Amino acid sequence: MSHRLLRVTMPAGGLQTHKLPTELLDMILEETALETRKACSLVCRAWLDLSRRHLFKVIVVRADATFDAFLCFLRTHPHISIHIRKMYLYGPLGSGKPEAECPRVDPGTLVDIALCTPNVSYIELQAIQLVNTPEESRPHLAALRGPVRLTTFRLLERSHGTRHPSTAYLDLFRLFQTENIRVDLCSCLDFMEPRPEDKDDVRPLFRAGLFVTNVSA
């Protein structure tokens, strides 16, 4: 079995050259602390690429208004977004903010975020305000070849719950194909009935055509 090798120069009574398999370095970085991974990323270009796999494998993003800036970052830094496996999108610290002050995100933006992170398998949202997808974004979503595939999708609520538009819920279920999904409905019992701002074709959840195999709510 052939291995790609990294050439590492270390001072030990003079310059000596050692060759370490990248697989071994990858295993070592898997067990190291965050600060160690940061230090390793500064050694050389080869170590930088290896370190990024572990530095950005799991990310937590907190927003005050929207996640548009985060989406812009992903689009302009594909060398980082490709390493993301698990993503946590949260509102501000603390759960005391009223619903109107929570960051807003629509299903279309979530799809764009997922498409910018091709290796992501887990997305969790909490303390956010889900809003309807803008009409100008719907042609782009209609052109997708199919739903975005994930292993797990979680929309968690704060203790007092948040009212999300029914259409936004249904867009989530249509746009994401996931093995496990958790949606905390909390006090949003009106989810099963259309609201005035929803479209006329909104129907109860069991008619939405879910792309899931395991649902908890």
- pLDDT attached to residue 73: 95
Instruction: Answer whether 20's CB lies under 8 Å from 8's CB.
Output: yes
What was the pLDDT predicted at 7? 53
Query: Where are the chain's structural domains?
Result: 1-55, 56-216
Entry pTM: 0.71
Give residue 3's pLDDT: 47
Q: What is the pLDDT of residue 122?
A: 96
Kindly indicate whether the domain formed by 56-216 is annotated with CATH number 3.80.10: yes
Q: What is the CA radius of gyration of the chain?
A: 21
Contact 34, 55 (CB under 8 A): yes
Structure confidence at residue 39 (pLDDT): 78
Cα separation, 209 vs 123, in Å, equals: 20
pLDDT on residue 190 = 41
Contact predicate 165/193, CB 8 Å:
no
**What pLDDT sits at residue 99?**
54
- Please choose, from the candidates 27, 28, 86, 26, the residue with its C-alpha nearest in 3D space to the C-alpha of residue 57: 86
CA distances from 169 to 131, 152, 157 (A): 9, 16, 14
Q: Is the dihedral of CA 73, 74, 80, 86 positive or negative?
A: positive
Q: Which residue positions in the chain have pLDDT lower than 50? A: 1-6, 8, 13-17, 159, 187-195, 197-217
